[in-house]
């Protein structure tokens, strides 16, 4: 054990904040693979590149999850479920959380280098968006609408990762990128609506997430429908 801190249970607490159970979300790169194959006719010859892109994206996502849970701890204590997260309820050490973040970020970067330079750039963009979303002085998650767009852009980045894992000879249509982005915005707005409904106390929900000072159920539902319509419009116009 390091300084008596790491028991098996404590190690599991650090393991949990990386959210390995959310790695399945990185399958959102697959539509990019499909669109690249369908629109360019490029033959998928090397599945290793796709697998490496998946793991690179997963490592970067885990790095973002780590800082998300760490920097959200003071707000998550007002959420009925998130208050039980390890960073909120356990005495986790900041230095180990920073180390964990750096390890996952480095793993993601090194894995992306094995795919291509453009995948490396996209993974760095994904890492940067995690900082913009979570870290002050920007912390975009605290601003209404900006919170949705700054988080859902990760969907568009995942699409591009899938695309460029197949081909770098062609650029994807901007309409597909926008459609995927607004599709992510729809999912985020629905998630915000669910979070709002789970607390149903304006004061408490605003303490959990500052953007909720400006949101209400009607605004969130209307915005979700608007994002969904835009997503369908752009995808169908491709």
pLDDT confidence of 38, banded at 50, 70, 90? confident
Question: Rounded CA gap, 233 and 238, in Å?
Answer: 9
Angle at 6 between CA 4 and CA 7, to 5 degrees: 100
What pLDDT sits at residue 8?
60
What pLDDT sits at residue 170?
85
Query: Could you state, in order of their start, the residue ranges of all structural domains in the chain?
Result: 30-236
pTM value?
0.90
Residue reference for tokens 């985020």? 188
What pLDDT sits at residue 32?
92
Mean pLDDT of 84-92: 79
What pLDDT sits at residue 137?
93
Instruction: Tell me which of 90 and 99 has the higher pLDDT.
Output: 99
Question: Rounded CA gap, 217 and 66, in Å?
Answer: 29
* pLDDT of 1 strictly over 50: no
pLDDT in tens, 107-148: 999 999 999 999 999 999 999 999 999 999 999 999 999 999
Lowest mean pLDDT among 64-73, 109-118, 132-141, 192-201: 192-201
Mean pLDDT of 191-216: 88
What pLDDT sits at residue 44?
64
Q: Say how far residue 45 (Cα) sits from the centre of its chain.
A: 28
Q: What is the mean pLDDT of the chain?
A: 89
Q: What percent of the chain has pLDDT over 70?
A: 94
DSSP string of the chain, one letter each residue: --TT---HHHHHHHHHTT-GGGGGGGGGGHHHHHHHHHHH------HHHHHHHHHHHHHHHHHHHHHHHHHTHHHHTTSTTGGGSHHHHS---HHHHHHHHHHHHHHHHHHHHTT-HHHHHHHHHHHHHHHHHHSTTT-GGGSTTHHHHHHHHHHHHHHHHHHHHH-SSSPPPHHHHHHHHHHHHHHHHHHHHHHHHHH--HHHHHHH-GGGGT--HHHHHHHHHHHHHHHHHHHHT-
């Amino acid at each position: 054990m390091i300084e008596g801190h790491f028991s098996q249970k404590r190690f599991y607490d650090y393991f949990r904040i990386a959210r390995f159970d959310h790695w399945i979300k990185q399958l959102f790169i697959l539509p990019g693979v499909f669109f690249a194959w369908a629109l360019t006719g490029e033959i998928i010859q090397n599945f290793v590149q796709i697998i490496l892109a998946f793991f690179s994206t997963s490592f970067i996502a885990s790095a973002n999850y780590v800082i998300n849970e760490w920097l959200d701890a003071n707000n998550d204590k007002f959420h009925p479920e998130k208050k039980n997260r390890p960073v909120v309820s356990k005495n986790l050490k900041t230095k180990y959380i920073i180390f964990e973040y750096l390890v996952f970020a480095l793993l993601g970067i090194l894995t992306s280098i094995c795919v291509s330079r453009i995948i490396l750039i996209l993974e760095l963009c994904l890492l940067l968006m995690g900082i913009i979303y979570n870290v002050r002085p920007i912390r975009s998650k605290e601003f209404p609408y900006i919170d949705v767009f700054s988080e859902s852009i990760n969907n568009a980045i995942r699409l591009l990762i899938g695309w460029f894992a197949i081909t770098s000879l062609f650029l994807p249509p901007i309409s597909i990128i926008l459609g995927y982005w607004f599709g992510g915005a729809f999912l985020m707005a629905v998630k915000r609506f669910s979070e709002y409904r789970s607390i149903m106390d304006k004061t408490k929900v605003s303490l959990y997430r500052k953007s909720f000072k400006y949101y209400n159920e009607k605004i969130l539902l209307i915005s979700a429908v608007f994002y969904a319509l835009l997503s369908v419009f752009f995808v169908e116009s491709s």
